[in-house]
Structure formats: C-alpha cells, structure tokens
C-alpha cells in the first residue's frame, strides 16, 4: 500500500522524496491516501463501501450460479473481519433477477437510485446485463467485473464504466478450437450454442481455428425452451463425432441426457461456463432422478482460468476452502464458489489501489492503468485504457471422477489475434491472509 511504502522512506531524502510522493499519488488513482476516511462518493461513507449486483438466484441459470454472490459475500466478510478496505467494511447487496432482463432493469435501478451503491459488481449474464449497461454508463456508475465473457463489454469509448473479468468468449473459443483442431483431426465437428452473445462469441472463436470443412452442423437454443431434442437429433444425423457446447450448466445437463436417450455419444467439449464438474453432476442426477447419470461428465473436455477447486496444493484453494467452511459451509465447495471469491479478491485489490477516499473515476483510472494483478488467475488481465476485457486466456482440462484435470500449456489469445502458449503464466503468490 502507498502509505506503508512512504513510511519506510528516510526523512533525509528531502526533494527526491517530494517528487516520489507526487509520482505515487498520481499512480495510485486515489483522491486521498492519508489519514482520515471521508464520504468520497455515492456508496462510500467513512465506515462502509456499499456495492450491488443482479444475480440469478432463481430461474434457468440458478443451478451453480446462485452460489457465486454468496461466495463473494463470504470473502467480503472475511476481509471485513480483518479490518476491511482502508478501515471500511464492504456491504454487498445482491438482488435476484431470475436471469430475466426485465427484472434486471428493475433491480439495478433500485440499487442505484434507492440503495445508492458505489458500483455494480459482477452482474451476471450476457442477456441480462445488456439490459442495464447503457443505464449504468449514463449514470456514471462503475460497472465492474461483469460475470459474462461477452466481447461487447470492451467498448471503452461507448461504455467507459464497464469492465469484464473472465476470459472473453471469443478468446476461450479460439483456444478451445485449437484444442479440437489439434486433438480431433479429421473428425466431424458440430456446435450447440446459446443464441446470444455468449454462444455467438464462442462460435466466432471456434470458427477461427476449426476448418469449415470439418464443421458439419451448428445448432442453437434459447434458455426459455428446454427441449433440445431437435438440435441433438440434427447433430446426430449430420454425423458429428465431436460436439462443442456453449451452454449454461442446466442446458449442458439437458444436452447430455437428451443425447443419451438418442444413443448419441460424441466426444463432448464444453465451455467453462457450462462444465463445472460438481454442479453438472448434481444437475444430471437431479434431472435423471438417477445418481448413475452423474457419470456422464467423465471425459468432457473443458477449460479453466483459475486453479482447479480440487487442487489442494494451491494456497488460494486452501484459503477459499477455509472461508467457505467458516461462512457458507452449506454450499458445495466447487468452481462457482471459487469464482465468487476470486472476483471478490479482485474488487478488494482494486479498492485498495484506488486510494483511501476514492471517487468513482479514481476506480476507473486504477483499472485502466493496470494496477490490478491476476491474483489466483492462471493468466494476466488485459485491462488498459483501450481494453476493458479481463483474463487473457485459459488452459484446457479433462473431467474425470468429478475433477477437472488441466492438460497441456496455458494459452493466451486476443480477439483480433492468434493463440499463443504462455510459458511464464501462473497464479500470483497469495498475500498474507489472502487480502491484498
């Protein structure tokens, strides 16, 4: 932190010290780093930072995803118990939108106008967040770490307040497509994708790597229609030997069960969005009313950008499990819980870097100047004044016995460029108590 760095400097430095103080102040982004907390922006008082979010606590995206906000809140409680951020506690208000854009508009306006939140944090869903992104930018409310990999969030001139966090769907699609191209050469490939920016971005990335001559069919679905029989039957009829899914978890499970009923057993490659192993196994068992159905996840190829939730050698996982056991032990400890805590860590780091009494614009400047590091992520962030995307790549994995095991190099990519192996990529060392 800036203040602790300054205290270590000798008083005898004189003029060089004054120059250094000016530089540090400019880089820190905060309007005041010294001494006293003030009410520096809407949602920030001397003792509290209030933020809000829209989350699918019910509806088609609730399985698995409803855990994320609870996990973020658990991490915030952990931080609050260790002194908060510059002595302020984080008050996290998350509202249920049921994965319905009309509801999203209602709850976000309430958070901004009535609850007067400092920022919207990790609003979940591409179709849902699309309904409020113009409003948030018009109100100049920081729109931080959207829980969606849509490339659409990367429009700094149009939406200067909005930032992604997870890998862009196009980037993930490119790296997934490279894996398919490298490992399933000569096999017929089909796609099933959600018909919005989530699925369309994934398809764009896949198509940049997989030869069009190998793609025999592309099917789409909408999350209001759970009948995937026609789409899976068409993929089967077209002879697809590999099927890539850009599906939310419930629709991944429906796809696997529908294909089983059709005696259709391609090699499955599933976006990280829809392949969290514990969530998926639970959905399969519930939908089929048969525990044996959970075995359908074995062999699924997916991707990840955080350490596997089962990786007990990672200090990040050890910390997150400790927080889970203390605050939200009734939830499964899975990738959704890990996601919620990891994105909360990024927010806490951002607020610490923004200074003791930050304005909303200080937070935007801090992100754009690259001061937030990747934390537990496997790859760096891309944040800059011209790029509001989050993590820059993924590593591929194969699910076996309820665990996703990483395989091969970590890759990074850009929306407009190619795919590169990242030999130096790895999570950052965890700070004391896991608090930036």
Structure tokens, 43: 């949602």
Q: What's the mean pLDDT in 187-213?
A: 96
Residue 194 host element (H or E)? strand 189-194
Among 82, 79, 101, 98, CA closest to 90: 79
Structure tokens, 13: 């430095």
Q: Judge whether residue 404 has pLDDT over 50.
A: yes
- The larger pLDDT score, comparing residue 280 to residue 290, is at 280
Beta-sheet pairing, 242-246 with 189-194: parallel
Q: How far apart are CA 175 and CA 410, in angstroms?
A: 9
pLDDT of res. 293:
86
Domains 1-167+311-391 and 169-304 share a fold: yes
Each residue's pLDDT tens digit, 348-362: 999 999 999 999 999
pLDDT of res. 34:
56
Q: Give the position of tokens 């915030």.
A: 76
Neighbours of 423 (CB within 10 A): 8
> If you write DSSP's letter for every residue of 85-97 in order, what string do you get?
BTTBEEEEEEEE-
Structure tokens, 354: 């923004």
Q: How confident is the model at residue 173 (pLDDT cuts 50, 70, 90)?
A: very high
Q: Where are the domains of the chain?
A: 1-167+311-391, 169-304
pLDDT of res. 25:
36
Q: How far apart are CA 188 and CA 105, in angstroms?
A: 42
pLDDT of res. 5:
32
Q: Judge whether residue 129 has pLDDT over 90.
A: yes
pLDDT of res. 202:
97
Q: What's the mean pLDDT in 83-99?
A: 98
Ranking 16-20, 109-113, 178-182 by mean pLDDT, the lowest is 16-20
pLDDT of res. 32:
44
pLDDT of res. 200:
96
Q: How far apart are CA 117 and CA 76, in angstroms?
A: 16
Per-chain mean pLDDT for the chain: 92
pLDDT of res. 402:
86
Q: Judge whether residue 193 has pLDDT over 50.
A: yes
Rg (Cα) of the chain, in Å, rounded? 22
CATH level 2 (architecture), domain 169-304:
3-Layer(aba) Sandwich (3.40)
Q: What's the mean pLDDT in 387-408?
A: 95
Q: Judge whether residue 217 has pLDDT over 60.
A: yes
Q: Judge whether residue 23 has pLDDT over 90.
A: no
Q: How confident is the model at residue 12 (pLDDT cuts 50, 70, 90)?
A: very low
pLDDT of res. 31:
41
Structure tokens, 404: 């996703």
Report whether 195 contacts 127 (CB < 8 A): no
Report whether 177 contacts 204 (CB < 8 A): no
- The larger pLDDT score, comparing residue 249 to residue 15, is at 249
Residue 82 DSSP class: T
Q: What's the mean pLDDT in 234-245?
A: 98
Q: How far apart are CA 366 and CA 353, in angstroms?
A: 7
Each residue's pLDDT tens digit, 131-166: 999 999 999 999 999 999 999 999 999 999 999 999
What angle separates helix 315-327 from helix 62-81, to the nearest 10 degrees? 90
Q: How far apart are CA 136 and CA 109, in angstroms?
A: 9
Each residue's pLDDT tens digit, 304-356: 999 999 999 999 999 999 999 999 999 999 999 999 999 999 999 999 999 99
Global pTM?
A: 0.88
Fold designation for 1-167+311-391: Rossmann fold (3.40.50)
Q: How far is residue 384 CA from its own chain's centroid?
A: 18
Q: Judge whether residue 113 has pLDDT over 50.
A: yes
């Amino acid at each position: 932190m800036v203040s602790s760095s300054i205290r270590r400097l000798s008083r005898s430095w004189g003029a060089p010290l004054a120059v250094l103080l000016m530089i540090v102040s400019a880089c820190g982004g905060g309007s005041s780093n010294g001494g006293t907390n003030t009410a520096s922006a809407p949602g920030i008082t001397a003792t509290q930072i209030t933020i809000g979010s829209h989350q699918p606590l019910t509806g088609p995206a609730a399985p698995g995803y409803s855990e994320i906000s609870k996990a973020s809140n658990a991490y915030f409680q952990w931080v609050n118990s260790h002194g908060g951020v510059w002595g302020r506690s984080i008050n996290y208000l998350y509202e249920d939108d049921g994965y319905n854009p009309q509801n999203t508009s209602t709850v976000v306006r309430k958070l901004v106008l009535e609850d007067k939140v400092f920022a919207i944090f990790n609003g979940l869903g591409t179709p849902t967040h699309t309904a409020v992104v113009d409003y948030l930018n018009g109100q100049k409310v920081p729109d931080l770490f959207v829980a969606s990999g849509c490339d659409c969030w990367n429009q700094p001139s149009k939406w200067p307040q909005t930032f992604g966090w997870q890998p862009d769907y196009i980037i993930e699609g490119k790296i997934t497509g490279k894996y398919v191209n490298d490992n399933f050469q000569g096999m017929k490939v089909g796609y099933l994708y959600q018909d919005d920016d989530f699925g369309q971005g994934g398809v764009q990335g896949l198509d940049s790597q997989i030869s069009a001559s190998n793609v025999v069919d592309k099917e789409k679905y909408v999350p209001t229609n759970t009948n995937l029989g026609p789409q899976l039957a068409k993929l089967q009829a077209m002879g697809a030997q590999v099927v890539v899914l850009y599906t939310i978890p419930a629709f991944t499970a429906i796809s696997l069960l529908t294909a089983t009923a059709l005696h259709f057993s391609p090699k499955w490659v599933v976006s990280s969005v829809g392949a969290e192993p514990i969530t998926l196994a639970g959905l399969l068992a519930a939908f089929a009313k048969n525990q044996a159905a959970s075995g359908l996840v074995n062999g699924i190829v997916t991707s990840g950008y955080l350490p596997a939730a089962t990786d007990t050698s990672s200090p990040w996982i050890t910390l997150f499990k400790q927080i889970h056991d203390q605050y939200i032990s009734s939830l499964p400890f899975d990738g959704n819980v890990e996601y919620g805590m990891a994105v909360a860590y990024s927010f806490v780091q951002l607020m610490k870097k923004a200074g003791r009494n930050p304005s909303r614009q200080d937070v935007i400047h801090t992100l754009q100047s690259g001061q937030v590091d990747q934390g537990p992520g496997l790859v760096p962030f891309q944040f800059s004044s011209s790029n509001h995307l989050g993590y820059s790549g993924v590593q591929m994995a194969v699910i076996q016995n309820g665990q996703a095991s990483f395989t091969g190099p970590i890759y990074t990519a850009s929306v407009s460029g190619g795919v590169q192996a990242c030999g130096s990529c790895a999570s950052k060392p965890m700070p004391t108590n896991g608090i930036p």
